[in-house]
Amino acid sequence: MTTLFDLQGKTALITGASSGLGEQFARCLSGAGARVILAARRIDQLKTLAAELNNARAIQMDVSDKASVTSCFAELEQAGEKIDICVNSAGIAVLTPIFAEDDNDSFESIIQTNLMGVWYVTKAVANHMKNHSIHGSIINIASINGDAFPYKEATAYATSKAAVIHMAKSLVTELSRHQIRINSIAPGLFHTPMTDHKLGTDQQRQEFAEQIPMGFVATPKDLDGALLLLASNAHSSYITGSCITVDGGKSFGTSWGA
């Protein structure tokens, strides 16, 4: 069936595809007709998801490890894969309060995954697209915490996401000359395995919802529209360096955890 954002004939690589937002991104792009390459560390979960989707491939990749990223792209090149769309969704989030006795490992691991991981994959896929003359789309999954809306004691996470947004803007000039677009999506609070522990009880969930102007905590599917828009050259050929905020208006509310 033809859809508004028809991605038939396109191939999308999604990092962090084993759960949460990444899993929904894979389902969304597959539903729009794209072949999807699922990348994450948890290969068993990827294989289970790949079996559910049409025309999907699972590949084990640790984005925080440059050698792992390089090896995976070499494997994909050897297999003849041509990547049109890349979604940098892999990420971690833990609190890094400055007055904690020792959080250096947590701070560094967040930066390594959320920032360096995006750089490793972006560099690899941009060179892949350039070498194969692919007019591609790279989509970085950022956060409203990286766009002047920090969450208390989440300095490493907010810093990594701010850098990801700025990375996309900074790469526009280099990538545009090869007809490669790069944009970001900044989600607010969504129901995912990474955030549900924070949402807690039904009463706490309601309290969070009341802080959001739209009145509810979103599900990953609520990001489908922004994702499909940026993935589609037919509908966003003139959009690059942008960051689409999807947060139910929370950016205009009070700070979480204040």
Neighbours of 68 (CB within 10 A): 17
Q: Which amino acid is at 78?
A: Q
233: closest CA among 159, 183, 191?
183
What is d(CA 201, CA 99) in angstroms, rounded to the nearest whole number?
Answer: 28
Which residues partner with 139 through β-bridges? Answer: 87, 183
Q: Do residues 90 and 116 make contact, with C-beta atoms less than 8 angstroms apart?
A: no
pLDDT digit string (tens) for the chain, length 258 residues: 346 799 999 999 999 999 999 999 999 999 999 999 999 999 999 999 999 998 999 999 999 999 999 999 999 999 999 999 999 999 999 889 999 877 668 999 999 999 999 999 999 999 999 999 999 999 999 999 998 767 788 999 999 999 999 999 999 999 999 999 999 999 998 887 767 666 667 777 788 788 888 888 899 999 999 999 999 999 999 999 999 999 999 888 654 444
Residues designated as active site: 157
Domain boundaries defined on the chain? 11-250
Q: In this predicted structure, what is the pLDDT of residue 103?
A: 62
Interacting residues of 133 by C-beta distance below 8 A, sequence separation 6+: none
pLDDT value of residue 193:
73
As a whole number of angstroms, the distance between CA 23 and CA 26 comes to 5
* CA nearest neighbour of 143 among 93, 188, 209: 188
User: How far is residue 74's CA from residue 251's CA, in Å, rounded to a whole number?
Assistant: 40
- Give the pLDDT of residue 177: 98
pTM: 0.93
Name the CATH superfamily, with its identifier, for domain 11-250. NAD(P)-binding Rossmann-like Domain (3.40.50.720)
